[in-house]
Amino acid sequence: MESRHDVHVAAVRDGELVGSAGDPELVTFLRSSAKPFQALPLALEEPDLPDDELAIACASHDGTPEHLAAVEALLARAGCGEDDLECGPERGARVNHNCSGKHAGMLLRVKRHGWPLPGYRDPGHPLQVELRGIVADALGVPDPPSAVDGCGVPTYAAPLSSMALAFSRLGRGDLPGSERITEVMRAHPVLIGGETAADTRLMLAADGLVAKRGAEGLLCAVLPDGTGVAAKVADGANRAAGPGLAAFLGIQELERDAVINSRCEEVGRIAASL
């Protein structure tokens, strides 16, 4: 054994904690697992938005041609270009950033309301004030602590149990716009991440499950019965989140993951142990 990653999990159904591993009250940042909630206003107020464009607004994408086509379409709908994106560049272009779909959706929201375009990522901008309220309501945390996420927008801290509650509410349709969000995520799991992404793999393996990963080893999901789950790898290792949550949920085919070297050889395994 070369490394050990401790995974904490909370499971919530009908507003009650129904399962856990480690510390279900561990406080951490929601990171990109917030994207489905940040896209709720688009689902609610943009009824003609194509499914792939709404899905990419919820995504942490791999930058494949399919992903980038959806981002470009969403930017065009907003009447914006790549230079309007306030995420940093990846592989030489902002559109390649794995959060560019979220940012394109934010630009559309800003344009619809006539809010200022520059600085839309700042905490005091009307867009971020709106989204803070939506995320706080979903979490059931009135005033969550905030920080700056990797792509420059605010991110919020909460216990894992609150994140599980938020995903339970998302899956149950308790939040305005949430039924459409879960519908497009189920329909387009590869757009949400990519073929090797933990959230995409979970959705492909478990029919009806909706999942969204976040940086630093966070992975959240909601099961078809409305049970929300949130998993956090204590040391922030993303590679352990998928196998850890899969073991908690009993999805045996995802409890182990290969370690691949630069020659595309399998040289080890990541395996969950309860």
Query: What is residue 28's three-state secondary structure?
Result: strand
Question: What is the mean pLDDT, run by run of 10 residues, along the chain of 274 residues?
Answer: 96 98 98 98 97 98 98 98 97 97 98 97 98 98 97 98 98 98 98 98 98 98 98 98 97 96 97 88
Looking at residue 105, its pLDDT comes to: 98
Q: Give me the pLDDT at residue 11, please.
A: 98
List C-alpha distances in Å: 153 to 88, 120, 127, 150, 200.
11, 8, 11, 8, 23
What lies within 8 Å, CB to CB, of 54 at 6+ separation is: 39, 42, 43, 46, 105, 180, 181, 184
**Cα 123 to Cα 220: distance, rounded to the nearest angstrom:** 24
CA angle 158/162/164 to nearest 5° reads 125
- Predicted pLDDT of residue 274: 76
pLDDT of residue 96: 98
In CATH terms, the fold of domain 7-271 is: Beta-lactamase (3.40.710)
- Which residue ranges make up each domain of the chain? 7-271
- Residue 33: its pLDDT value, please? 98
Q: Which residues pair with 233 in a beta bridge?
A: 7
Specify the pLDDT at position 171.
Answer: 98
Rounded to an integer, what distance in angstroms lies between the CA atom of residue 23 and that of residue 88?
Answer: 34
Residue 240: DSSP 8-state: G
Q: Which of 32, 185, 163 is nearest to 100 (CA)?
A: 32
Beta strand 266-271 pairing with 256-260: antiparallel
Question: What is the model's pLDDT at position 136?
Answer: 98
CA of 147: how far to CAs of 41, 150, 214, 233, in Å? 22, 10, 14, 19
Q: How far is the C-alpha of 135 from the C-alpha of 127, rounded, in Å?
A: 12
Q: Which of 9, 225, 38 is nearest to 137 (CA)?
A: 38
